[in-house]
Every structure is written in structure tokens, then in C-alpha cells.
Amino acid sequence: MPINGMNEAGDKLATNAGTASPKQRIKKAGPFLKVKAGSAVVPIYRTACNGRVRFTLSFYRDGRRMRKMFNDLESAKKEALFVAQRIQSGMQHVTDLKPHERDTYKAAEALLEKLDIPLFAAVEDYVRARTLAGNESLSVMATEYGKMFGNIVRRATVPEVVAELIKIREQDGASTKYLGQLRTTLNRFAAKFPCPILEVTGPDVDAWLRSLKISPVTRNSMLRCIKVLFSFAKAQNYLPDEKNTAVEQIPQVRVKLDDVTLFSPEELAKLLHHAPPDLVPIIAIGAFAGIRMAELERLDWKAVDLERKFIEVRASEAKTASRRIIPISDNLAAWLTPLERKGKIVRTKELQTHMPALARALNIGWPRNVLRHSFISYRIAIVQSADQVALEAGNSPSIIFKHYRELTTEEQADKWFSIMPKKGQWENTFRYDRKKRRVILNGIECD
């Protein structure tokens, strides 16, 4: 009879399950396989039930135990690797997706990887574009947009373009007066519109100009400066080159010229006969050639050909950007011949104050553009051709015919173009005290 679980030969007998310890009965088999990604490990367990083998993943997410079951080992291994990688990269929330959803997610990420755009940002942008496009094709719209805006090198702001324009104009030798006008207008414009110039619309600019409550002449002048800015931006590829700029369709304000004010021949003679040598060419060329003061400031004496008797205003110097030739009358030649003709014609920096001051000292008014208006009126009275005067003055024949015809007589015009220098003309002296607003002519102080 066996004693102490031993047979007669002394061998130990096998015991049944009922005699096993509790610890031995609850012991389970370890993972069938472990899938690693870095330091993250996801175990796969193999179980059999009713003749079917299943593979179970077990991992933790947000402190909770998660389990996923698969019918084949390859699917389980693929999922385990995905879960391990996401655990390693801190993206456990993605493991909630179903396999086909995750494949779609991964494909979308791959497409956006080359553009360095997050998936959420791409979807958000698409939804916004789809809402704006309605039924239109986004790809077709993008193609058209590329054709129109593809030349733009960068989204430059208005202040940036203004600074660049002024710098280039300075390098090109633009006049001080012109640069001052650009700075005054465009810096004010840049303060109002600090955004990219591509975003500025015509209606915005028009509304701003109207809100300033300025005269029509000033408004037109500011609009011309703004148009120069937009043309420059287009040339620099800051605006599309296949369409008009935002301001090109803004019309200028109509300026009434019904009340054109002229000098009489007697007033002009008095002004010229008291003028010092540095102011004589300004008055004489303005009165007998009709050149605009802004154009005259750009001219040097090389433009004056006394032998062939004409003044050339080059396109770069003309307001209308068109070259024109102006004949020199006999009396204009008499006024210019004695002068030293070197360098700039306008040598005084105080043109805008000295000319009105001289006229005021002689009890003569100084209306805006009075010399030019006088020239056009007296000239058409002699030649009787609006077309010819328009070519000489750099204006349109319709304006000449409408506003200057029959303002003077041929007899008055003859007097105008017969004014000659007087004896002692070139000894005249002129000094202007800006603080006291007093003029001293030939040593005599004038009120």
C-alpha cells in the first residue's frame, strides 16, 4: 500500500488538480507575442474557444485598460505596432479609430506632409473655401487665381511700397517738390491703409478721398500720386499684371475753369521790370511759353535753344509724360539772351514764396497758374488755333477751346508779346524777409 504518496518502488505519485495549490490554479499563460515601438510594448495574447483561435491586444489609454480582438495574427500584429507607435509618440487617442478610418487618416497625413500643413488646418481651410465657392469647382477657381495672381512675388504692405517708391524716385533724381508731394500724400495714405496693397479696393480709396473734405484740385493731385503708387506696385509684381489696379477706375473730380484770371500786359510789364535776374526767366518763360511751374522746376538751360528758338520739354519732365516743343517768341528771346544760361533754370528754393511776395509788393495779385492761363489766352488770340496752342501748352484742344477762347483781343495779345526789358533791368535787387513778410526792392522796403 502506498505510503506518503510513494509507491512500493519509492517513486512519487502524480497528484490530481484537486490537490494543487490556489496560486497554481489561477496562474495564466504569458503573452503569445510582444510588439515594441521604442519603449512602448503592446502584448498579444492567443486564446482558443470552440475550436476558433483569436488574438487579443491589451494596452492602457488614459489610465484605462483597453482590449482589441482579431481573428488572424497579421491583423493583430499590424494593430499592435500602430498602437505602440502612437503610445510612443503620445497620440493614443488615434487608436480609437477603426482600421479603415485610420488608413484614410494616414493617407491624408501623407498627402499633407509635403505641404507641411496639419490635417485639421487643411480641413478647416477646405470647408471655408467650399462654403465661399458654392457650386463652383475649387480646382478651376484655383487655376484662374493662379493665372491672375501667379506673378505676385510677395504681399507687400502699402507702407513698404511707399517707402520703396520714394527711395527709387530719389535715386532717379526726381525734383524736391515732386518728392515732397509724394511723401505728403502717400505717407498719409499709408497711415490709413497699413494692410497689403493687394487688399486695398477702389471704393475704399474713393471713400477716403471724399472724407477728407479737400478742394477738387487737391483731391485730383492726391489721386494722381496714389495712381503712381499703384502703377509702381504693379511694375514690381506686388499687384496682378492682367487687370487694372484698384484705383485706375476712380475718376478725377471735374474742376471748373470758368473763372480764368489773367494778367493784363501792363501788370506783366510792371512785374518783369521790377524782377531781379534770378526771377526773370521764371516769369518770362511762364508768361511767353506757358510752361507749368512744376515742369519749369525740372528744366535746365540745355532745354532752351535760342538759335533755333524753341524750348524742349522732354517726356520725363512733362506733366503729361509727352514730349513737346514750344516756340520762343522774339520778346522771350530778348529776356533770356542776357542771362547766364547754365544749370537749372529755377535757382531759387523759395519760388513759391518769392514770386507771390514780389507781386504783392507791386500791388498785383497772384492767382493760381496766372502766367500759364495768360499765355494760353493771349496765344490763341494770335494763332486762332486751339490745336496748335494745345500742342504748345500740353493740354487738350477741347479744354483750350472751351475755357480760353475769346478771353482777350488780338490787340492785347500783341501788347503782351511785345513786352521788352527796360534800361537798367539787370541791376534790379530783391530780398524777402520771411519773418516780417517784407520785400526789399532795389534797397527800398515795400509793405
Domains, the chain, with CATH or none: 29-111 (no CATH), 144-255 (1.10.150.130), 265-446 (1.10.443.10)
CA 10 to CA 2: how far, in whole Å?
Answer: 9
Amino acid at 180: G
Instruction: Say what the pLDDT of residue 100 is.
Output: 74
Burial grade of 205 (CB within 10 A; 0-12, 13-18, 19 or more): buried
pLDDT of residue 23: 47
The Cα–Cα gap between 54 and 233 comes to 70
Q: Using CA atoms, how far apart are residues 216 and 368, in angstroms rounded to an integer?
A: 14
pLDDT recorded at residue 412 = 93
Q: Which residues of the chain have pLDDT under 70?
A: 1-29, 39, 62-63, 90-98, 102, 120, 138-153, 242-243, 255-259, 447
Q: CB within 8 A of 65, min separation 6: which ones? A: 58, 59
> Which set of grid coordinates corresponds to residue 133?
465657392
Q: pLDDT tens digit string along 202-250?
A: 899 999 999 998 888 788 889 999 999 999 988 888 887 766 777 888 8
Work out the number of other CB atoms within 10 angstroms of the CB of residue 267: 17
**Cell 490745336 appears where?**
387
As a whole number of angstroms, the distance between CA 28 and CA 247 comes to 82
3-state secondary structure of 259: coil
Measured between alpha carbons, how far is 382 from 417 in angstroms, rounded to an integer? Answer: 10
Residues forming beta bridges with residue 59, ordered by sequence position: 66
The confidence score (pLDDT) of residue 167 equals 93
| Residues 6+ away with beta carbon under 8 Å from 98 | none
Report how far residue 171's alpha carbon sits from residue 167's, in angstroms, rounded to the nearest whole number: 6
- What grid cell was written down for 74? 497579421
What's the residue count for the chain?
Answer: 447
